[in-house]
Amino acid sequence: MPVPPAAPTRGRDAAARAELTEILVRTGEEDRAAFRDLYVRTNAKLFGICLRICGEREAAADVLHDVYLTVWKRAGAYEPSRASPITWLATIARNRAIDWRRVQGSRRSAPIEEAPEVADAAPLASETLIADEEAHSLLRCLDELDGNQRESIRTAFFQGVTYAELAERMNVPLGTMKSWVRRGLARLRECLEA
């Protein structure tokens, strides 16, 4: 199978390049119609460059907007002898997208120690359930103790009263009070472990 000659393709490419060069030069002269035409002919390619570098469609669209603002402002400085129009446009798109990427990278590079705390300080539901269950068990076991033991332990541990103060309040010797509390705690431990 014969290979078709490449010359016609090169001719079309050269004609398209010359046409795009003329449009870009006219854009540099603040020709709005030329600028619209330039956008229609090049936005898909430039968007592809931006998307490839940014990685996000919305970000690429924002960067592309900046690209065309730059083109509008700098088109008068375009020199056809130095670069093809698409190379010049692609360089602007690439640079703007890289600038966007750098800004995003600098935003994400803060040390974790500087991150705001987002965790809820409240205990987990499972921890609350366990604590409630333990409290319920403790109260049930306290109710099973003798009256003097129960009252002594509740007063000593929940009100922060010393053995001496308890003995005085209940009008019993200090040794008796210590014995009630010690025996009551032993029974309480047995009940809670059961």
Say which amino acid occupies 116.
P
Average pLDDT estimate for 109-133: 60
Q: Output the pLDDT for position 106.
A: 62
Q: Output the pLDDT for position 122.
A: 61
Contact 54, 100 (CB under 8 A): yes
pLDDT of 36 > 80? The answer is: yes
Average pLDDT estimate for 93-118: 72
Note the pLDDT tens digit of each residue in 135-189.
777 788 888 888 888 888 888 777 777 888 888 888 999 888 888 888 888 888 8
Note the pLDDT tens digit of each residue in 37-83.
999 999 999 999 999 999 999 999 999 999 999 999 999 998 888 88
Q: Output the pLDDT for position 70.
A: 94
Which is more confidently placed, 32 or 160?
32
Assign 160 to helix, strand or coil: coil
Q: Which bin fits 30, alpha (ψ -120 to 50), beta or left (φ > 0)?
A: left
Q: Which domains does the chain have, with CATH numbers?
A: 12-108 (1.10.1740.10), 125-193 (1.10.10.10)
**79-92: buried (b, 16+ CB within 10 Å) or exposed (e) per residue?**
eeeeeebbebbbeb
Determine the Cα–Cα distance for residues 177 and 168; give it in Å rounded to an integer: 9
Determine the Cα–Cα distance for residues 68 and 42; give it in Å rounded to an integer: 10
Contact 153, 146 (CB under 8 A): no
Say which amino acid occupies 2.
P
Could you tell me which of 93, 102, 28, 19 has the C-alpha nearest to residue 60?
93
Determine the Cα–Cα distance for residues 25 and 36; give it in Å rounded to an integer: 13
Could you tell me which of 9, 38, 10, 36 has the C-alpha nearest to residue 22?
38
What length is written for the chain?
A: 194
